[in-house]
Structure 1
Amino acid sequence: MIRKVFIPRSSADAWARTLALIAVIAATLFLMWQSEERDTGNPEAEQLRGPSEPDSFVVDSHYRAFDEQGRLEIRLTSPRIEQFENDNRAELQAPIARVFSEQSPEPWIIEADEGSLLQARGLLHLNGNVLVTRTAPAGETTLATEALTLNDNDSTVYTDQPVTINEPYGTTRATGMKAWIDERILELNSQVEGRYETLR
Structure 2
Amino acid sequence: MAKTARFQSPWWRRLGLLVLLLALGGGLTYLDQRGENDQEPVIGNTVGEPDYYLEDARMTRFDEQGRAYQRLETPRLVHTPSDDIIRTEAPHGYLTDDQQRQWQVTSQTGQLSRSGEQLTLQGDARLVQPEQAWSLETQTLHYDNREAHAWSDTPSVLRQHNQSMRGNRFDAWINEDRMRLTDNVQGRLPQQSEDQGS
Q: Which has the higher helix share?
A: 2
Aligned to 2:185: 192
Q: How does 1:102-113 map to 2 (within 5 A)?
A: 108-113=103-108
- Residues 42-57 of structure 1 correspond to what in structure 2 (within 5 A)? 52-57=48-53
Alpha carbons 1:164, 1:171 under 8 Å: kept? yes
Question: Which stretches in structure 2 are left out of the alignment for 5+ residues?
Answer: 1-40
The share of aligned pairs that are identical, in percent, is 25
Would the aligned equivalents of 2:118 and 2:142 in 1 still touch at CA under 8 Å? yes
Distance in structure 2 (CA, Å) of the matches to 1:91 and 1:65: 16
Go from structure 1 to structure 2 and tell me whether the alpha carbon gap of 1:171 and 1:184 turns closer, same or farther (over 3 Å shift): same
> What does residue 13 of structure 2 align with?
none
**1:161 aligned counterpart, secondary structure:** coil
Give the number of the structure whose alpha-carbon radius of gyration is greater: 2
Higher RCO structure, 1 or 2 (CA under 8 Å, sep 6+): 1
Q: CA deviation at 1:177?
A: 1.5
Instruction: Determine helix, strand or coil for the equivalent of 1:191.
Output: coil
Secondary structure of residue in 1 paired with 2:54? strand
Relative to structure 1, the CA distance from residue 59 to residue 121 in structure 2 (aligned partners, 3 Å threshold; closer, same or farther) is closer
Q: Which residue of 2 aligns with 1:97?
A: 93
Q: Which residue of 2 aligns with 1:174?
A: 167
Q: Would you say how many aligned residue pairs link Structure 1 and Structure 2? A: 149
Q: How does 1:51-200 map to 2 (within 5 A)?
A: 52-63=48-59, 75-98=71-94, 108-120=103-115, 122-136=117-131, 140-199=133-192, 200=196
Q: Give 2:126's aligned amino acid.
A: L
Cα RMSD, aligned residues only: 3.5
**Separation in structure 1 between the aligned mates of residue 114 and residue 103 of structure 2, nearest angstrom:** 23
**Distance in 2 of aligned mates of 1:100 and 1:87:** 27
SS at match of 2:183: strand
Instruction: Give the letter aligned to residue 192 of structure 1.
Output: V
